[in-house]
Amino acid sequence: MESPIAELLARIDEIRPILERNVNQTEADRRVAQENIDALASAGAFKATVSRRFGGYEMTPRENLELSSAVAESCGSTAWVVALVNICNWLVGLLPEQAQEDIFGADPEARVAGVLNPSSDVRKADGGYVLSGKWPWASGSWHSDWAVLGMVVPDESGEEVDQALCFVPMSELSIEETWFVAGMKGTGSNTIVASEVFVPSHRLLSVPRALANEYGTEHAEETLYRASFIPFLALVLLGPQLGLGRAALSFVLDKAPKRAITYTKFERQTESVAFQLQVAEAAMLIDTAHLHAYRAAEDLDLAARADEDLSYLGRARVRADAAYGITRIAKAIDLLVSAHGASSFADASPMQRIWRDSSVAARHAVADPLVNQEVYGKALLGFPIEENITPLI
């Protein structure tokens, strides 16, 4: 089946004026403007990872990067919500068909937000589990119909026998406003709260089994839902960064012929060799981030298409690629802020928002560059996975 990515990117271009018009409202309200959500939903932006059985697109990892990065050229917070909702929607595709029917069978337009950290306030009940707890950093939760939440799985005696992700309707949960931050202000990454919520057993996804690429879906023919678990979760974080980097470079290049360099003889920034070197380095850093992103996406896609598990070394490299790409974008934006000048920090300039958004998003725990570098280094040296600093590889 022909990919819809070109058509979807064309629709993003059509709604770009809406996304850009609502940037300040999104920041002020600390959630994506509803007009943005409605326009993106109409464009199909939240169906990228939904199965074709439910009218979705089953887009490849690279196409998902292209989608969220295109949105980020207009608004980083909106792009982050697009990326995170789509990866949580992908998680639904790993579930048994009964759970998929609960979510996308009941509503093909459903959106899912979530947090993987597990709550231990769980007890076994007839047919499932009763769950309580708090899950911070739930991006897009204001605009989602379902939540995917981490939980410890106990037996009848209360002993932990597994860890899982469970899927709960947002109507059974509440949101505690805790998202007061310097960048990515509009992602609405607040805290989801559950109090004595029943979760049926068929809506659980075992995390240890998922790490081993053992998913619950009965639809083995669907390539996208064979992609490696943690590598795909890590890689999506790079998508919005790519768009932020492109937006920063485009803005600085566009303004350069009309801006002088204060206290110098240069009437236009374009005349300065120093400026030329800065934008060239920034452009190369942004290109480098794209190359690492697309290599990692291809690694994920090729393994899924061949119905093969991505190797331990390959999974570690995807995590390293994602983190390295993010650090290249952050460095490029720092360069561009300096090249453009102190007016980058004016409230009226998009540069300060791009800089803040990229800086905050780059600190996501899964994107920690030193952690991912150590993970990859250990894999290169042949350390067994149990000796690594995290099982999330």
Does pLDDT of 2 surpass 80? no
Q: What is the per-residue pLDDT for 144?
A: 98
- Choose which CATH entry (3.40.50.2300, 1.25.40.80, 1.20.140.10, 3.40.50.1390) describes domain 229-387: 1.20.140.10
- Residue intervals of the chain classified under CATH 2.40.110.10 are 110-211
Residue 371, φ and ψ in degrees, nearest 5:
-60, -45
Write the CB contacts of 131 (distance below 8 Å, at least 6 apart in sequence). Answer: 119, 121, 122, 149, 151, 166, 168, 194, 196, 197, 198, 199
Does pLDDT of 98 surpass 70? yes
Q: What is the DSSP letter of 72?
A: H
Q: How far apart are CA 371 and CA 203, in angstroms?
A: 31
CATH architecture type of domain 5-95 = Orthogonal Bundle (1.10)
The predicted-structure confidence for 262-283, as pLDDT tens digits, reads as follows: 999 999 999 999 999 999 999 9
Neighbours of 238 (CB within 10 A): 29
Query: Which helix (DSSP H) or strand (DSSP E) does residue 8 occupy?
Result: helix 5-21
Which residues of the chain form CATH 1.10.540.10? 5-95
Written as six digits, the tokens of 46 are 């939240």
Please compute the mean of the pLDDT values over residues 47-52 and round it to a whole number.
98
Mean pLDDT score of the chain, rounded to an integer? 97
Tell me the sheet residues that pair with 272.
Answer: none
Residues of the chain with CATH 1.20.140.10: 229-387
Residue 390 confidence (pLDDT): 93
Fold of the domain built from segment(s) 110-211: Butyryl-CoA Dehydrogenase, subunit A; domain 2 (2.40.110)
* Backbone torsions φ then ψ of 147, nearest 5 degrees: -125, 140
Enter the tokens of residue 84.
């995170």
Nearest CA to 170 out of 158, 152, 188 is that of 188
What pLDDT digit, counting tens, does each position of 55-91 carry? 999 999 999 999 999 999 999 999 999 999 999 999 9
pLDDT single digits (tens) 159-176: 999 999 999 999 999 999
Could you read off the pLDDT of 230-249 as tens digits, one per residue? 999 999 999 999 999 999 99
